[in-house]
């Protein structure tokens, strides 16, 4: 495993963590909170954003306008059953989601949820480190790498790990600040 590959995998772990953060609402309308909603469309789970046009006409409303009007009730049901925590209002052609202002207790719950996602991101980075170090050790045992080069590579992998763990902490701090801002 090359050092560039390790860094690439760690970067992808950060991006996945960031996507998880985007699905948590912060009191303002944001279409990315619907990214994980799957609609049972013709027997197959389909991402909501492929079935409808999703917009934010103002800071506290999300509108979902399906491309196929026949799927309106399916979309409404999928949003109701999802973990988004919003009640859809169906007017016959569009679904409106009103984003209520967050209470301080709800903000604290969301901060805990974000911290959990951040920890999952850190675990991903650490797993990548473990796999990379195992790969280096196997190469060392088989004689492909001299001992001093293997140790040097392991140090570089650890420095990369520290860098990406710090980046997860930065992203976490930004999201916590965003959630706690009224």
pLDDT band at 17 (very low <50, low <70, confident <90, very high): very high
* Domain chopping of the chain, boundaries: 3-21+103-180, 28-98
- Lowest mean pLDDT across 60-64, 97-101, 129-133: 97-101
Candidates 110, 109, 87; CA nearest to 25 is 110
Mean pLDDT across the chain, nearest whole number?
89
pLDDT at 138: 93
Q: Tell me which architecture the domain covering 28-98 has in CATH.
A: 2-Layer Sandwich (3.30)
Name the token pair of 147: 């001992």
Mean pLDDT of 25-48: 85
Mean pLDDT of 107-128: 93
Could you report the per-residue pLDDT of 42-89, keeping only the tens digit for each?
A: 889 999 889 999 999 988 899 999 998 888 989 999 998 887 778 899
Candidates 172, 181, 129; CA nearest to 18 is 172
Does the structure show a pLDDT above 80 at 1?
Answer: no
Name the token pair of 123: 């675990």
pLDDT at 128: 95
pLDDT band at 30 (very low <50, low <70, confident <90, very high): confident
pLDDT band at 12 (very low <50, low <70, confident <90, very high): very high
- Give the C-alpha separation, 1 to 10, whole Å: 13
Q: Who has greater pLDDT, 158 or 23?
A: 158
Q: Count of residues for the chain?
A: 182
Name the token pair of 3: 């050092």
Residue with tokens 């967050």: 102
Does the structure show a pLDDT above 80 at 25?
Answer: no
Does the structure show a pLDDT above 80 at 117?
Answer: yes
What is the pTM (predicted TM-score) of this model? 0.73
Q: Tell me which architecture the domain covering 3-21+103-180 has in CATH.
A: Orthogonal Bundle (1.10)
- Give the C-alpha separation, 18 to 135, whole Å: 28
3-state secondary structure of 44: strand
pLDDT at 182: 66
């Amino acid at each position: 495993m090359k050092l560039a590959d390790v860094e690439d995998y760690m970067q992808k772990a950060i991006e996945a963590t960031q996507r998880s953060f985007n699905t948590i609402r912060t009191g303002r309308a944001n279409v990315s909170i619907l990214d994980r909603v799957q609609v049972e469309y013709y027997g197959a789970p389909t991402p909501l954003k492929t079935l409808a046009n999703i917009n934010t006409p103002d800071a506290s409303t999300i509108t979902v306008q399906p491309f196929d009007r026949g799927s309106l009730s399916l979309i409404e049901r999928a949003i109701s059953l999802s973990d988004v925590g919003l009640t859809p209002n169906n007017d016959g052609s569009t679904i409106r989601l009103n984003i209520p202002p967050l209470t301080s207790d709800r903000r604290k719950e969301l901060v805990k949820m974000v911290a959990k996602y951040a920890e999952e991101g850190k675990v991903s980075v650490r797993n990548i480190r473990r796999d990379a170090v195992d790969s280096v050790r196997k190469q060392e045992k088989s004689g492909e790498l001299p001992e001093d080069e293997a140790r040097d590579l392991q140090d570089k992998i650890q420095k990369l790990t520290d860098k990406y763990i710090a980046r997860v902490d930065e992203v976490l701090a930004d999201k916590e600040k965003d959630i706690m801002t009224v």
